[in-house]
Structure 1
């Protein structure tokens, strides 16, 4: 591919009452790098330096081209601020498609993760036709465990991911 050639994919935009789930943009990187450097990223491979964060950000953006789905950027409608990411993950070595979420500092406790994850799950089921997904959650990640349970997911089994213990939560099928 030459420098002038480009790949593109149409990332669907999902809207909820308070959020816009949209494509990742280069302008989102600083907010992601701040998240990745913080203790909040401890359950997703962090904290990490800016170069490691760039690799993760670029890989998750490329996920849309390689898989046709990925993590949406969560934008707060009221302020336009980047509040986190949520969506579908199927990295090499994953047991199956995962529904995941990350909320940035200052946006927790508002129900944004729930609102975004439910929108992503509904899109995956009703538009993409995916079967009930899983969420891979570290046993100590009590906030994500509570969110998965609030969404109706149940622990299917204990497993290991990238050498770390994890719980595989199974999400329920959504009604048509």
Structure 2
């Protein structure tokens, strides 16, 4: 199953293209990837991102590229569950030039609506405790901290906090009826 293309007033979520992976690998090699275990060497980052793209065929969900209506690539959002994740996660990363403009909220809202339409009952976001921007986004989306949620294999509460998203708090279509 290829990634579906989703639209909002300013953004398109679409299947990744090779140029996206190159830009994301550039990002992962920097300190901006510190909340994801980085900086991450290019070879490892490429494999990681490619696996998130491949999840669409294997699992029916995965990574989308985020771009503006004029085609400017902004970053990635996706629904992931690699083998070491106990639950499906919605996660995001933006390139430096895209931060602070509301793009992450808009892209996450699109992805969450898609998930709820697919019948997902819950998603989590695994976030580094010092990643204030991602915690703020999860909270803005309606997610609540869930200290009882299982953590990814090998991680502790010093590494990861869990925020839980649910259709009734994250803007399910019924909320707008």
TM-score (norm: length of structure 2): 0.88
Runs of 4 or more consecutive aligned structure 1 residues displaced over 2 Å after TM superposition: 158-165
Q: SS where residue 97 of structure 2 aligns?
A: coil
Q: After superposing the two structures, state which structure 1 stretch, 48-57 or 143-152, moved more.
A: 48-57
Q: TM-score of the superposition, structure 1-length normalised?
A: 0.88
Tell me which residue corresponds to 1:34.
26
CA deviation map 1:64-100 (0-9, x unaligned): 111111011001213x121010120111021211111
1:10 Cα deviation from its structure 2 partner: 2.6
Aligned length: 166
Report the counterpart of residue 156 of structure 1 in structure 2.
Answer: 146
What are structure 1's unaligned runs of at least 5 residues? 1-8
Match of residue 165 from structure 2 = 171
1:12-91 aligned at under 5 Å gives the runs 12-78=4-70, 80-91=71-82
Deviation at 1:138, TM superposition (A): 1.0
Instruction: Work out the CA distance in 1 between the residues paired with 2:115 and 2:76.
Output: 15
